Structure 1
């Protein structure tokens, strides 16, 4: 990731504040156009697990990297964070490890351009179904619903989790993913396969086709046992059964919004699996999101457990 300005975003025809998929040539072109950059491990679900592990939760990650420099760095970082990661790597002749080139403008908006690389070939055979069955929650990211192989792997993972009586949590990830796969996501919801659904307010509107926020909540609240919707600077709402909770955003200096949703999910899920009240789960999410947007990168730098003790008492 690198600092940028609006003129560069416009010159490169990037979608400011959003995420766009690019191929290898596109990634190389954008990297060449970047200023001095910071290289930091990332990935939506991996970021969430990094936050969960930092909070003291036991986690395992299923995802695919290549046998290259980026892949080795990613594997080192996620294991160093205390997360089990045993998915076999793809060889050097295979597509390289995924990368996301992020341009951060002075208003702290992150513009992401993602080359999915090896991650888009994650096969169902790579799943550890015993590990999935042993987990309290299976957490899935919408970004990887786009390529065929990881989509099939996630469907199989859902079956494994449901068969073991485990919860399935799903993050919608980005509006463009809903535009492409909204019917699949609506089917998952309608069939009762999602227990915890994460969305921001624009993703909620895209999924429900309701521009009014409350109408969007109403469209899902009886279909998803736990619905969590973030609203950026306006805080977040969660609905669980007949209960509704809402919290404001935590005050912080905003430097880079990369990973805000990922870390919000981490804080919320940590509270959720420990049986905490809905409002406390939301506060945990807001505290984690505030920490991550206070610096570059989508992995926590502060001691999240100490931060929770300070903020929650």
Structure 2
């Protein structure tokens, strides 16, 4: 029996989340709804201008690992932090959520990555990310026992650019499933048509799960198409982590041998719950929520 359901590989980032209005974004040259990579100077400037904030361990794949653990799945994570206060916060949080995380921290510079996330009243988040120690993740950080003892290896697209991180991924995985939102697949295939992009991605991978915000999601496998409804929510608070938690629910279902419809419904539930709170990781037990919804 495999030791882990899912091994997640990604940027280990501490999210610093604050609410603001659109005027603040405009004044500070922040592109609304985008993820912008920033340098140390820009990070210090934005942090000095932030209002009251909360700190929460984040990073796309880390959020997914935490979600899988909340469903009751066995999750592991590879990601690089530094031996500093934010690195200690990150390690504590991910361990507390039941995820196996043993990547050796970096001694010295650069410091642990952080993302300053500004959430506007409409729930949209604008991310400004300083990667710091993340860029030091490399092949030497691959733990062979975890890599070989996982049913699925999941990595975030942000890691495909740095050469050392790419080499670490190549040691652990081959591409079978792609998660993306509708904007990302249209950009990938350079088309304005969602249907054209979906037809293209259907041919390029075994399974593709494409999220469409309030329109739910579409899952394709060969000629099979499964349409998933979005979870009804009371209030949109913060969209941070929605895609990450969708992947968590889907992969928990997938590694449990469930149908694509069940996988999508679990993903939709997790995404719908996380966007009703501030922060990218679920505050309530996802397994209990899924049982209450009749999905488990």
Counterparts of 1:271 and 1:123, CA distance in 2 = 30
Counterparts of 2:38 and 2:166, CA distance in 1 = 19
Q: Does 1:42 align with 2:58?
A: yes
CA contact (8 A) 1:121 1:147 kept: no
Q: Does 1:306 align with 2:288?
A: yes
Aligned to 2:105: 89
1:168-183 correspondence runs (5 A): none
1:253-292 correspondence runs (5 A): 253-292=235-274
Task: Please provide the CA RMSD for this pair.
Answer: 1.1
Runs of 4+ in 1 over 6 A off after TM superposition: none
Structure 2 unaligned spans of 5+: 1-16
Which one of 251, 261, 275 corresponds to residue 293 of structure 1? 275
1:43-58 correspondence runs (5 A): 43-58=59-74
Greater fraction of residues in strand: 2
Which one of 154, 165, 172 corresponds to residue 150 of structure 1? 165
Aligned to 2:146: 131
1:150 deviates by 1.6
Q: Secondary structure at the match of 2:135?
A: helix
1:145 deviates by 2.2
1:104 deviates by 0.2
1:209 deviates by 1.6
1:197 deviates by 0.2
Structure 1 unaligned spans of 5+: 159-192
Aligned to 2:3: none
Q: Secondary structure at the match of 1:312?
A: coil
Aligned to 2:26: 10
1:236 deviates by 0.3
Count of residues in correspondence between the two structures: 278
Aligned to 2:117: 102
Q: Alpha-carbon deviations, 1:283-307, whole Å to 9, x = none?
A: 1011000110001000101111111
1:220 deviates by 1.5
Q: Alpha-carbon deviations, 1:45-69, whole Å to 9, x = none?
A: 0000000001011111111100111
Q: Does 1:117 align with 2:132?
A: yes
CA contact (8 A) 1:237 1:245 kept: yes
Counterparts of 1:36 and 1:135, CA distance in 2 = 40
Aligned to 1:225: 206
Name which structure has the greater RCO, CA cutoff 8 Å, separation 6+. Answer: 2
Counterparts of 1:22 and 1:68, CA distance in 2 = 20
Counterparts of 1:225 and 1:55, CA distance in 2 = 25
1:311 deviates by 1.3
TM-score scaled to structure 2, two decimals? 0.92
Greater fraction of residues in helix: 1
CA contact (8 A) 1:110 1:257 kept: yes
Aligned to 2:155: 140
1:17 deviates by 0.6
